[in-house]
Amino acid sequence: MTKPTEIKLAGTKPSDRVALVTGGARGIGAAIVRQLCGEGVSVAFTYVSSRDKADALVRDVEVVGGSALAIHADSGAVEQVRAAVQQTVEHFGRLDILVNNAGIELPGSIDDYTAADFDRMIDVNIKGVFFATQEAVKHMHHGGRIINIGSVSSDYMPIGGHAVYAMTKGAIASLTRGLARDLGPRGITINNVQPGRVETDMIKAVRQAPGGDKIHETIALKRFGTSEEVAGLVSYLAGPEASFVTGANLKIDGGASV
């Protein structure tokens, strides 16, 4: 279990902002929850199967004086996504930041990819993002922030078997650009963070794919990224310094795609 001392509130500016992070119980999502809570933001986050990790994360945040709420919700089910937004607003009284982090990767070749896996990828990686955003902006005012967690895979894929995943992340990049026009007049920004290979459970599956053990050799920095590095970029986009950044697809990939 992550030590509570890794979430630092001392010395941060107080904040009355509220965030919802989908898929926030582990990996990049959990790092984002810790980062935002450490900045004084009250954070709700969703989880599907990692109940123990979700509960532990809430305890870690509360021990150091932060405020977090774990919500069981499947990002592939539209009504559950909408309900998670509503529950966040009911609990904290407002919503200022949405981080669409939840995502899955079901690899497979064109020869045997199933319709069920295809639909599941669309449901979680695209529909979940769109409908969470649709529901969230009902509660946001000028200064609201939407931050999508896409992937560098949208335009760079060094190994086979991940075409459908790349397609869904390409859709998020396009959605981000399009919604920037819709939300701009309301003073709400929307941006897309595109991680490269980051040390998470998902990268373990990539490593096991043919050629996956050599993938770090394609990265300019010759290492995988960390969840905390991605969370730092999310923190910037959620803050006042990024108020003129919208519609951007920002890679954080260690130079893998240069």
Show which residues are catalytic: 165
Q: Which DSSP string do the residues of 59-84 spell out, in sequence order?
A: HHHHHTT--EEEEE--TTSHHHHHHH
Q: Is 237 in contact with 180 (CB distance < 8 Å)?
A: no
Separation of alpha carbons 24 and 255, rounded Å: 26
Give yes or no for a contact between 235 and 36, defined as CB atoms under 8 angstroms apart: yes
Q: Are 56 and 1 in contact (CB under 8 A)?
A: yes
Q: What does residue 187 show for φ and ψ, rounded to 5 degrees?
A: 80, 20
Token output for 238: 């959620």
Tell the burial category of 247 from Cβ atoms under 10 Å away from its Cβ (0-12, 13-18, 19+). Answer: middle
Cβ count within 10 A of residue 43: 30
Name beta bridge partners: 255.
Answer: none
